Amino acid sequence: MKNFDKPPAADRLDLSALTLLVEILDAGNLSLAARKLKMSRANVSYHLAQLEKSVGVQLVRRTTRRVEPTEVGLRLYDHGRSIVNEILAAQETIATLGKSLQGRVGLSMPVGYGQVVMAGWLIEFKRLYPGILLEVMFENRVSDLVREDVDIAIRIMTEPPPTLVARPLGAVHYVVCASSGYAEVQGLPRQLSDLGAVPLISAGFIGRELRVAAYRNGQREEVLPRPTLLSENMLFLRDAVLAGLGVGLMPDYVVQDLVDQGQLVTALDDYRLSVFGTQMFLLYMPNRYQTSSVRTLIDFILTKVGEGRTAHPGGAPIMPLMSTARIPAPLS
């Protein structure tokens, strides 16, 4: 790429100017663009002003937190993004001539789903494509999806952000569960409001109030429980439920094997419960160039999810090994 030491000439629009505009609009603000371009924010702002001066129109609307393209800016962005992507594709073609798939892929996914469901998939993927550098981040937050080091994100949510491409992976089912020993002594919740009176163990964002949405017979209710233990680490929470520390509220893919074995029993099975959201999505930026390695991983994940749907057409499609064993009824 060209450097930005000189402002674009008034009679032409060069690649460096288009690249600058693309990076600014992709980042959403000048500070993030400056970090990506390894420039100061003031320098980015200066070159943007010079670009707008050279074309004679405003290309970007600036607010206190974000930048948005004007109509002309958006048209130039579309041209610039296409050109940048073509250059990246050409560079990849030259770099990979006669070689197997290589390069880096950044994957961000929820802690529990990543550890319980996807870990085996990714090990299989690495055996198939040993030349790919796979950087896996276990995290639950949505705000970081535009980071440059994240190519693909798996997230639980009800509605995906409109600014991202969202490939649905299936429904997420939360279950209320407890150890058999806890249930025998303390009993299990029999109605939704009981969740506010039990020591609840659940995933949640630290420092934020836990809200549980419940759906039944087309009606939505909400309960504000008083958790005794919160964490983003689902395996830790599962161990805490097994130890009898309280009642768990977790995705079925984390506890289904223990339910099948009779170590955990469930309650409120007629509700569809949600903490973070009701659906799992595979997300990526719509305009960011995808290398062959990124596209291969996307196809691989979607194939694995599809195999789960085929194997268990009546179960949760995001579960690769979903049992149909009957879940024990709540104890009094």
Residue-wise pLDDT tens digits, 26-56: 888 888 888 888 888 888 888 888 888 888 8
How large a percentage of the chain has pLDDT more than 70? 83
Of residues 332 and 215, more confidently modeled: 215
Using the predicted structure, report yes or no on whether residue 127 has a pLDDT greater than 80.
Answer: yes
H-run or E-run covering 220:
strand 219-223
d(CA 56, CA 50): 10
d(CA 29, CA 64): 9
Q: Using N-to-C axis directions, what is the helix angle for 15-27 and 30-37, rounded to 10°?
A: 130
Report pLDDT for 325. Answer: 29
Report pLDDT for 142. Answer: 58
- Do residues 232 and 109 touch, judged by C-beta distance below 8 A? no
Buried residues in 151-162 as b, exposed as e (16+ CB within 10 A)? bbbbbbbeebee
How large a percentage of the chain has pLDDT more than 90? 28
Using the predicted structure, report yes or no on whether residue 7 has a pLDDT greater than 50.
Answer: no
What mean pLDDT is predicted for residues 115-120?
89
Residues sharing a CB contact under 8 Å with residue 27, sequence separation 6 or more, in sequence order: 33, 35, 36, 146
Identify each DSSP E strand in 110-164 by its residue range. Answer: 132-138, 152-157
Residues of the chain with CATH 1.10.10.10: 15-95
Residues sharing a CB contact under 8 Å with residue 26, sequence separation 6 or more, in sequence order: 33, 146, 285, 287, 288
Q: Tokens 């494509």 appear where?
A: 129
d(CA 174, CA 259): 13
Using the predicted structure, report yes or no on whether residue 8 has a pLDDT greater than 50.
Answer: no
Residues of the chain with CATH 3.40.190.290: 174-274
Q: Give the model confidence (pLDDT) of 161-197 as tens digits.
A: 888 899 999 888 899 999 999 999 999 999 888 888 8
Residues of the chain with CATH 3.40.190.10: 103-170+278-311
- Do residues 66 and 60 touch, judged by C-beta distance below 8 A? no
* Range with lowest mean pLDDT among 11-15, 140-144, 203-207, 309-313: 309-313
Q: Give the model confidence (pLDDT) of 286-308 as tens digits.
A: 877 778 899 999 999 999 988 76
Report pLDDT for 205. Answer: 64
Using the predicted structure, report yes or no on whether residue 282 has a pLDDT greater than 90.
Answer: yes
Using the predicted structure, report yes or no on whether residue 283 has a pLDDT greater than 80.
Answer: yes
- Per CATH, the number for 174-274 is 3.40.190.290
What is the architecture of the domain spanning 15-95? Orthogonal Bundle (1.10)
Whole-angstrom CA distances from 27 to 33, 48, 60, 295 are 5, 14, 13, 22
Q: What is the dihedral of CA 278, 270, 182, 203, to 10 degrees?
A: 10
What mean pLDDT is predicted for residues 127-139?
91
| CATH label, 103-170+278-311, candidates 1.10.10.1100, 3.40.50.720, 1.10.8.60, 3.40.190.10 | 3.40.190.10
List the one residue out of 235, 208, 242 whose CA is nearest residue 110.
235
